[in-house]
Structure 1
Amino acid sequence: MSFGEAALRRRPAATAPCPCGGGSFGSCCGPLLDGRPAQTAEQLMRSRYTAFALHDRNHLARTWHPATRPEDLEVDDPEEWTGLTIVRAEGGADDTAGTVEFRARWRSGADSGELHEVSRFTRIRGRWLYVGGVVSPAP
């Protein structure tokens, strides 16, 4: 089975809750994972969290600025992403730069934790792209 086939198998139904917590998958991140451009930096951040949760490497590559994108996007980590909280977000439809601070919770076997990051985004030709982020140390 190819990675693409595996990602499609993990894809929630349109009416299922979106992994990012923003509503139903079909009206939240589903259309963005299908290629629709995000309207805001926060929408892109949510879709990228969902892509990590679903192991959708194609979406991650497509939405990562080519200047900062790693050669190999490894998303088959053992972690299960269990929740996303947006702390603050800047960057709307008329902006060219944005910032999203978020907390993403994960679980791996008996271990669990939280990733706290402030991510930077840029908007080029109507498409938001992830540029990079600063991860805060775990408490």
Structure 2
Amino acid sequence: MSRRKPRPRTTTAAAPAVTATSPCPCGLDAAYGECCGRFHAGAGGTAPTAELLMRSRYSAFVVRDEPYLLRTWAPETRPHDVDFDPALRWTGLDIEAATDGTAFHQHGTVTFTARFRHDGEPGSLHERSRFARHEGAWVYVDGDFID
């Protein structure tokens, strides 16, 4: 399996159809509306752990929810916008490890592999992401790609 990093593009295409009753893209055994969708909509508060924030951010990439991604990005590393590659489709998420990142911590890390198809070719992104609390909520700070 290829371990290419997805290339950013400036063009956006329609997001894949995910409804409130669809299986959640993050891989947990729940409907999108009851899982990550509630965080995206703001109805479920904020993700209570770094791992749940990681899962909800992955789902936000799947459904191309730029406002959520920017809202959950640390101010010091947040880009101005998110470019979604129209040729990229996220196909699965595996959480490999989570360190700290609970209600008792101020920082945490999540190591994951996100699978995708780019122009029909399979690939994966392996990253160790860093998260921190900002104004009481978990935010994504940055990450290191793992080969």
CA, structure 1 residues 83+9, in 2 after alignment: closer, same or farther (shift >3 Å)?
closer
Trace 1:26-37 onto structure 2 (pairs within 5 A): 26-35=33-42, 36-37=45-46
Amino acid at match of 1:113: G
User: Secondary structure of the residue that 1:93 maps to in structure 2?
Assistant: coil
So what's the TM-score if we normalise by structure 1? Answer: 0.86
Matched, 1:49 2:58: yes
Matched, 1:38 2:47: yes
Structure-2 separation of matches of 1:120 and 1:103: 14
Percent identity, aligned pairs only? 48
Of residues 14, 17, 28, the one that matches 2:20 is 14
Is the Cα contact below 8 Å between 1:7 and 1:56 reproduced in 2? no
Question: What is residue 3 of structure 1 aligned with on the other side?
Answer: none
The alignment covers a number of residue pairs equal to 132
User: Secondary structure of the residue that 2:81 maps to in structure 1?
Assistant: coil
Trace 1:44-123 onto structure 2 (pairs within 5 A): 44-90=53-99, 91-123=101-133
Is the Cα contact below 8 Å between 1:55 and 1:76 reproduced in 2? no
Structure 2 spans left out of the alignment, 5+ residues: 1-11
Give the number of the structure whose residues are more often helix, by fraction: 1
Structure-1 separation of matches of 2:65 and 2:86: 12
Structure 1 spans left out of the alignment, 5+ residues: 1-5
Structure-1 separation of matches of 2:119 and 2:83: 19
User: Secondary structure of the residue that 1:12 maps to in structure 2?
Assistant: coil
Q: RCO (CA 8 Å, sep 6+): is it higher in 1 or 2?
A: 2
CA, structure 1 residues 7+27, in 2 after alignment: closer, same or farther (shift >3 Å)?
farther
Shift of 1:70: 1.6
Q: Bigger CA drift: 64-73 or 39-48?
A: 64-73
Structure-1 separation of matches of 2:82 and 2:20: 26
CA RMSD in angstroms comes to 2.0
Could you list the structure 1 runs, at least 4 aligned residues long, displaced by more than 6 angstroms after superposition.
6-9
Is the Cα contact below 8 Å between 1:48 and 1:60 reproduced in 2? yes
